[in-house]
């Protein structure tokens, strides 16, 4: 059996060599062979040069161009070039267990699911990134998302990265290239709505490197919120509470601030709600890091949580404005890289 690993990348000169070493060192069953397809999104640095040099020495590596630059287009171009019966997605900013691909193959075969994957587990370096990682995986920060539970084994709505039978991907039409973000969630939604299953397995292990700054984290979640509206509109489905709560809170605060121009008491209500949220974020952080032991880490987790929630809520609001009210095309903030 042949397995194709597909990888979108752009401007990854600082990380691509280590990633290739890790991906090509995957331990596969004796009856499996590996193909690695990397789609470069017109990088402005030396990423393509480094990829081409490695490909000249490594027959398992195939490098292709992704002139559209966005992730969904990169994945589709890589799927077209994939020779394997099974397609496994990898990203550059993730560390993988040596049996990651083998576990994906085994889980696909064992469960009969259309898509399989593991948990989305962030690991940071340095105080700020560690705080972001802790907030990212916390129940309060993630809204209790199943994808943050490393011990979960069973059916879910979506998984981190993913693996599929190539024939199934082609039948589904691949990823929606109208989406800059949330293309993986949208594909999983099509699978489930078509009667297929998405399966998360504790045996599929990887460790994601989150954004390194609070501003980058805010921008990342702003885009998640923005493009979630496009997915909701495309499939005409109600948003889950986990997606609506950040937007509802941001909309309520904005309404109270505006009302305060006429009714000053509204500003006090807005201040009270903001204080209540801050206390909730600090309490959620305290459940992860004791304030008296690591006060900066505690405060960092709370601030990262706020960046995620307010970024998502504001992005969702802008998505409603662009997609549902004005029909504006997505601006640069919705499409640019956030790393």
The side-by-side arrangement of strands in the sheet containing 61-65 is 61-65, 33-40, 2-9, 86-89, 160-165, 115-118, 198-200, 154-155
Residues 176 and 323 in one domain: no
Summarize the confidence of residues 139-147 as an average pLDDT.
87
Return the percentage of the chain with pLDDT > 90, whole number: 83
Q: What's the pLDDT at 260?
A: 92
Contact 180, 72 (CB under 8 A): yes
Structural domains in the chain (count): 2
In CATH, what number is assigned to the domain containing residue 106? 3.90.550.10
Residue 292: pLDDT band with limits 50, 70, 90: low
Q: Cα 59 from chain centroid? A: 30
Q: How far apart are CA 273 and CA 263, in angstroms?
A: 16
pLDDT score for 144: 80
Determine what percent of the chain is predicted with pLDDT higher than 70: 98
Confirm whether 130 is domain-assigned: no
The answer to whether residues 179 and 282 belong to one domain is no
Domain membership flag for residue 149: no
Q: Are 60 and 102 in the same domain?
A: yes
204-231: pLDDT as tens digits? 999 999 999 999 999 999 999 999 999 9
The domain in which residue 251 lies consists of 214-334
pLDDT at residue 288 in the model: 76
pLDDT for the residue 75: 98
Please determine, for residue 95, whether its predicted confidence score (pLDDT) is greater than 90.
yes
Same domain, 24 and 57: yes
In degrees, rounded to 5, the angle at the alpha carbon of residue 58 between the alpha carbons of residues 120 and 11 is: 50
**Quick one: 182 and 247 in the same domain?**
no
Look at residue 239 in the predicted model and tell me its pLDDT: 62
Q: Are residues 112 and 252 in the same domain?
A: no
Residue 241 belongs to some domain of the structure: yes
Q: Is the pLDDT of residue 291 over 70?
A: no
Average pLDDT over residues 255-276: 94
**Given a cut of 90, is residue 305 above it in pLDDT?**
yes
Give the residue-averaged pLDDT of 253-269.
Answer: 94
In a shared domain, residues 61 and 190 = yes
Residue finishing a domain among 173, 208, 243:
208
Q: For 169-206, how does the pLDDT look when each residue is reduced to its tens digit (9 = 90+)?
A: 999 999 999 999 999 999 999 999 999 999 999 999 99
Q: Using alpha carbons, select from 172, 312, 173, 319 the residue that is nearest to residue 233.
A: 319
pLDDT in tens, 60-80: 999 999 999 999 999 999 999
- What pLDDT is recorded for position 295? 82
* Averaged pLDDT for residues 113-123: 96
* Partner residues linked to 63 by β-bridges: 38
Strands (E), 61-120: 61-65, 86-89, 94-96, 115-118
| Residues 170 and 229 reside in one and the same domain | no
Quote the pLDDT of residue 238. 67
187 shares its domain with 289: no
Same domain, 169 and 30: yes
Tokens 């998302």 found at: 145
User: Is 90 exceeded by the pLDDT of residue 338?
Assistant: no
Would 132 be classed as within a structural domain?
no
Average pLDDT over residues 97-112: 97
């Amino acid at each position: 059996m042949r397995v194709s690993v597909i990888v979108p990348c752009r401007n990854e000169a600082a990380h691509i060599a280590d990633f290739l070493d890790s991906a090509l060192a995957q331990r596969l069953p004796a009856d499996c062979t590996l193909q690695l397809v990397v789609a470069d999104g017109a990088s402005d640095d030396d990423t393509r040069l480094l990829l081409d040099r490695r490909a000249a020495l490594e027959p398992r590596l195939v490098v292709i161009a992704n002139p559209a630059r966005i992730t969904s287009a990169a994945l589709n171009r890589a799927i077209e070039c994939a020779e394997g019966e099974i397609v496994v997605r990898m990203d550059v900013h993730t560390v993988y267990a040596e049996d990651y691909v083998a576990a994906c193959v085994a889980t696909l075969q064992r469960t009969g699911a259309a898509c399989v994957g593991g948990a989305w587990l962030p690991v940071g370096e340095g105080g700020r990134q560690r705080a972001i990682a802790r907030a990212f995986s916390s129940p309060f920060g993630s809204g209790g998302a199943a994808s943050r539970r490393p011990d979960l084994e069973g059916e879910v709505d979506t998984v981190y990265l993913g693996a599929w039978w190539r024939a199934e991907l082609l039948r589904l039409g691949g990823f929606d290239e109208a989406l800059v973000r949330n293309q993986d969630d949208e594909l999983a939604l099509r699978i489930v709505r078509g009667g297929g299953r998405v399966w998360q397995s504790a045996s599929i292990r990887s460790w994601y490197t989150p954004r390194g700054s609070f501003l980058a984290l805010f921008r990342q979640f702003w885009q998640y919120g923005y493009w979630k509206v496009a997915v909701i509109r495309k499939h005409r489905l109600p948003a889950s509470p986990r997606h609506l709560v950040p937007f509802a809170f941001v909309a309520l605060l904005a309404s109270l601030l505006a009302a305060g121009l006429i009714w000053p008491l509204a500003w006090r209500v807005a201040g009270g709600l903001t204080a209540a949220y801050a206390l909730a974020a600090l309490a959620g952080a305290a459940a992860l890091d004791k304030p008296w032991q690591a006060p900066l880490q505690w405060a960092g987790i709370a601030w990262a949580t706020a960046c995620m929630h307010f970024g998502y809520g504001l992005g969702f609001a802008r998505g409603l404005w662009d997609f549902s009210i004005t029909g504006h095309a997505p601006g640069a903030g919705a499409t640019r890289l956030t790393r």
